[in-house]
Amino acid sequence: MLQELISFQREIYLAFANQITAFANGGGWGAFLVYLPMGILFGAAHAMTPGHSKAVLATYLAGSPSGLVRGLGVSLALSFTHVTMSVIIALLALPLVSISLGSVGRAPMLEDVSRGLLGLIGLWMLYRAFRHRPHQHDHGEGMAFGFMAGLIPCPLTLFVMTFAISRGVPEAGVAFAVTMMIGVALVLSLVAVATILFRQRVVHLIEGRPLLLDRITRAIEGIAGLLLTTIAVRELIWR
């Protein structure tokens, strides 16, 4: 399955390269716009491969009280930031890419910042889970989490933008990146919905026993916080 996804991405990328070349040679927007929706499939296939913070998103939402609307908001914030960071890097810092990126398609400093911030959110969730007085959840936390998790730029978006800029048509790269972001958002939204529905189902089964519900809710949030913290520390130490 993974190999098929990679092959599918390669075919779309090669076709995109041909479209960009034709556009740069005066082909106009007409033919390019016809091809542009393929970016949605490209982004979705790319998001289904390992990475893209799917496990981190599911872990956070499992321990968060967010409903479907807020959960979708978190996934959209993550998707937007994940793709937009690559566009910004390509547009504003392309001359520095060879210095700022440790290897092709990666930005180590942004990765470290993202992991460090996610570790702090994990510690905050642990603190909330084990303090004994009732607590209120900050709804802005979810959006902040989406932004922090998305700070790691999308490598394929960076490749697409770099290729488009090298051909002198950055606007075509931005357009394709937007459609890619839609595909990424669709996959991450499915992850968010599945996680929240599962969590709500578990809560529904025990909602008639408030003491047990409180304990299980705290336990889930604590486990989620511990996992986020562990993932952050592991990635920072052994990346």
CB 164 within 8 A of CB 92: no
Residues in the chain: 239
C-alpha to C-alpha distance for 127 and 124, rounded to whole angstroms: 5
Which amino acid does the sequence have at 93? A
Helix axes 155-166, 170-206, angle to 10 degrees: 170
- Of the candidates 112, 104, 84, the one whose C-alpha atom is nearest the C-alpha of residue 163 is 104
pLDDT digit string (tens) for 26-40? 888 888 898 899 999
Neighbours of 55 (CB within 10 A): 13
What is the distance between the alpha carbons of residues 31 and 28, in angstroms, rounded to a whole number? 7
| pLDDT digits 0-9 by tens, 107-156 | 566 667 777 777 788 788 788 777 755 445 556 788 888 888 888 888 88
- Lowest-pLDDT range, 54-63, 74-83, 90-99, 118-127? 90-99
